[in-house]
Amino acid sequence: MGEPWIVSERMVWFESALLYYIFYFHNIALVFLYWGFYLLTFKLLTQMTIKKLFNILQLVTYVESNKWNDVTRIVSGIAGGEITIKEKLWCNYKANLYELYPLDLSKIETWSTFEGDCIHLRFYMKQNALVCYVHIYEGDSFSGHMRNIRFTATLILPNSFIKVIEPKIVRALNYFAEEEYHRYLDKQKKDWITNFKSQLIK
């Protein structure tokens, strides 16, 4: 009578182990499936198309930068012929002395200044083109604070450059959405108050 009991016990152990491993690997498969779906969704949401970024930039009007790495990208684009200079102007003692002091925007030393207050880059859309309006200021040699303006320029950027400023556009969209939400709440509040008073006056 003992042998059937032993077989039965082993069968139960085998079935339990089998069910455990099926459940374990099934959960792992689900984890990978959900993780893969999350990564795909995140990629689709974060990697917007150039056309979509153009539309958002027009919606938020403009984005700005005061970062030196954006300056270096612009200088590289000018030197490589990818960025067109529409207008440039000395705003210091070199004004009207372009023969003596050519305003060469393809040279990084022309732009050399302090990051932050001394760099003002504004990116916006105009006539279906990505434009950057530049203000470069002299900086105080001790503190780096903005002093006199050195030069201004208007640049036409290639469409692909909008991917460089994508984080700034997404951040501007977040601010825009918050402002729109607060405007919506204010309108809802005003409508509710108006309706509430009208109900009491009836």
Q: What are the tens digits of pLDDT across the range 45-104?
A: 455 788 999 999 999 999 999 999 999 999 999 999 999 999 999 999 999 899 999 999
Q: What pLDDT is recorded for position 145?
A: 79
Residue 201, pLDDT > 60, answer yes
Q: What pLDDT is recorded for position 141?
A: 72
Query: Is 11 in the same domain as 100?
Result: no
Token code pair at residue 104: 């060469």
Query: Is 76 in the same domain as 14?
Result: no
Q: What pLDDT is recorded for position 45?
A: 47
Query: Is 96 in the same domain as 19?
Result: no
Residue 193 resides in a domain: no
Q: What pLDDT is recorded for position 198?
A: 86
Q: Domain span at residue 137? A: 52-167
Query: Is 42 in the same domain as 74?
Result: no
DSSP 23-88: HHHHHHHHHHHHHHHHHHHHHHHHS--HHHHHHHHHHH-EEEE--HHHHHHHHHHHHTT-SEEEEE
Cα distances (angstroms) measured from residue 149 to each of 92, 94, 105, 140, 175: 7, 12, 15, 12, 29
Query: Is 36 in the same domain as 65?
Result: no
Query: Is 57 in the same domain as 131?
Result: yes
Query: Is 116 in the same domain as 81?
Result: yes
Q: What pLDDT is recorded for position 1?
A: 46
Give me the phi and psi of 55, to 5 degrees please. -65, -40
Enter the pTM of the model. Answer: 0.72
The residue-averaged pLDDT of 160-171 equals 94
Query: Is 31 in the same domain as 65?
Result: no
The residue-averaged pLDDT of 174-186 equals 93
Q: What pLDDT is recorded for position 14?
A: 52
pLDDT digits (tens, 9 = 90+) for 95-145: 989 999 999 999 999 999 999 999 999 999 999 999 999 999 998 877 667
Token code pair at residue 139: 């900086």
**Number of folded domains that form the chain:** 2
Instruction: Give the residue, 55 or 3, on which the prediction is more confident.
Output: 55
Alpha-carbon distance of 28 to 78, in angstroms, equals 51
Alpha-carbon distance of 137 to 90, in angstroms, equals 11
Q: What pLDDT is recorded for position 35?
A: 56
pLDDT digits (tens, 9 = 90+) for 23-41: 555 555 444 555 554 454 4
